[in-house]
Amino acid sequence: MRRLHPFLITLLTASLAGCASTSTAPSASRATAFHVDVPSVAHPQGETPHWWYRNGAAKAAAHGAMQGKAKNVIVFLGDGMSLTTVAAARIFEGQRKGMPGEENLLSWEHFPHTAFSKTYNTDSQTPDSAGTMTAIASGVKSHMGAIGVAAGHKGECTPDGSKDLLSWLMLADSAGLATGIVTTARITHATPAATYAHVSHRDWENDTDLPPEATEAGCKDIAQQLLAAARFGHGPTVALGGGRGEFLPVDMRDPEEDDKVGQRLDGRNLVAEWQQAHPQGAYVTNTQQLQAAADAPQLLGLFEYDHMQFEHDRRKDAQGEPSLADLTRTAIRTLSRKPEGFVLLVEGARIDHANHYGNAYRALDETVAMSDAVQAAVEATSRDDTLILVTADHSHTLNFVGYPVRGNPILGKVRGQGGEDDTPGDLARDQNGQTFTTLTYANGPGYTGASNRQPAGPKHFLHAPSSVEPSEGRPDLSQVDTEHPDYLQEALVPLKSESHGGEDVGIWAIGPGSDAFRGTLEQNAIYHVIVQATPKLRARLCAAGTCDANGVPVELPRPVDFEKK
């Protein structure tokens, strides 16, 4: 008899449990929902941090999040993972398996609860990763570029902490839970940084990046704030990603890239400082070292000088980088030793970067890699005590177009019809008789006019032009391999870097409290579902006096109240 994969067994069990409780769960959730009064305000001028926090709390409480009994929380963040990226990646993965592809599902698409997330920043219809992750991590929407601070202006300095926001990572540390961060970007990049740092400008990753006036005013760079996060408890138990250059001084060579030195001008070696603070912990820079550190109580892994490599490009031997799934398994194994529970962020960061490069192959490949990581998390945890949610911070301009036949290669040229009324044939053609691909970008470096980097015609990875010439029509793709990993999909508007999109992104959830994810939510409500569905988190908030009579955390917490005394 053929054995079922453990992941399928887990999902089948979850589905049966869901079927068994279908008749009672919805009514029970409604019966135990709580009402929170939220004042009406003028938009956007009336949207204060306190209003955003209370508004998000009201939505989560009305959806029954307070009934959650999560011990552990894992948040998977696909940076830039638009719904189009998800749809194309599911087909991409299916076709790798020899299937037509459309019938395939990524791991999280089996989850029982889904919602949409509205992603705008307080000052921008189309958001960035800093403001969006701040909303997800702290329950308060903020400005474009803000990391862990309430809305204001990029570059302003508030060292008194008056704009600082409390993330669920800091809250969990203060409540005695283990905490972890996993990312394929620099660990000081916008998404991971929003869980432990407070800066009004996302680019302040090391002290060299701060303008003199900000330094003089007392602002701190993001890298040193990772170590300072221990003031809430112990700091992250696990921190795995890229970005060694942000932690090393300028007089120190990188251990793997001899032509590079650290970026810090303050003389601090933050890796050495972390090691001194965690004498039993392990600092690792490659797969072999990560495997050898399996029993270490704390882990700091900086696997690249800059961002980690794309999945397609990474070395897969012992001296190379671990996969996102490997990092996820390691983080869960280490964090699970804490009997009180844990909170973990896992970011598939390079989905976003590949989309910015206009390279659909790597964007889809990175999405599949995150699907593998989600599967690993489901297999390593229990649905009974672990809330797992998968979402994105924002979308991109990737388009899924034309009328290709079933099973047509998702990265290929459209084979079938060019329009609804066309007669199905071989390759579809535009009105000029040219073939075209299923996937395109609305803007970006795939624009086919000549640039200062590449000649007119199809572009290939990596292309970051500083000047372009107008395109004279579309190129002939008949002899172009559009399925090649380095092919850049055509872009309508020429930009050095493809832009984000402003439409909603998905939320998929499983585990205690996951049924609170339904409908269309403001992005900051994600935080409130997490804290309300995790008893230890909401108890810590109530102990600080932020809860109403029903025990719902409704008042904006001050980070200083959660620091060790």
What crossing angle do the helices spanning 525-532 and 535-543 adopt, rounded to 10°? 100
Of the listed 117, 129, 138, 200, which one is catalytic?
129
Distance, CA of 453 to CA of 397 (rounded, Å): 23
- Based on DSSP, count helices (H) and strands (E) in the chain, helices before strands: 16, 19
Number of Cβ within 10 Å of residue 360's Cβ equals 33
In 3D space, the residue among 538, 561, 537 whose CA is nearest the CA of residue 342 turns out to be 537
In 3D space, the residue among 444, 441, 439, 457 whose CA is nearest the CA of residue 494 turns out to be 444
* Residue 288 tokens, joined: 């072999």
In 3D space, the residue among 170, 174, 116 whose CA is nearest the CA of residue 147 turns out to be 170
Distance, CA of 524 to CA of 109 (rounded, Å): 22
Segment holding 118, helix H or strand E: strand 113-118
Distance, CA of 411 to CA of 87 (rounded, Å): 13
- Say if residues 348 and 324 touch (Cβ distance below 8 Å): yes
Peptide bond before residue 462 is cis, with ω within 30 degrees of 0: yes
H runs (alpha helix) in 285-359:
287-292, 324-335, 350-356
* Single-letter code of the amino acid located at 342: F
Tell how far CA 181 is from the center of its chain: 11
Q: CA distances (Å), 86 to each of 122, 321, 396, 405, in order?
A: 26, 25, 11, 19
Number of Cβ within 10 Å of residue 401's Cβ equals 12
Strands 439-444 and 416-417: unpaired
Q: CA distances (Å), 552 to each of 41, 363, 367, in order?
A: 21, 39, 35
Residue with tokens 């599911």: 90
In 3D space, the residue among 105, 108, 4 whose CA is nearest the CA of residue 373 turns out to be 108
Per DSSP, 209 falls in state G
Residue 358: which residues within 8 A CB-CB, separation 6 or more? 441, 444, 445, 446, 459, 463, 488, 489, 491, 498
Active site residue 200: no
Task: Calculate the CA dihedral of residues 543, 544, 548, 549 and round it to 10 degrees.
Answer: 30
Residue 17 exposed, middle or buried by CB count within 10 Å (0-12, 13-18, 19+): middle
In 3D space, the residue among 500, 496, 485 whose CA is nearest the CA of residue 445 turns out to be 496
Catalytic positions are: 129
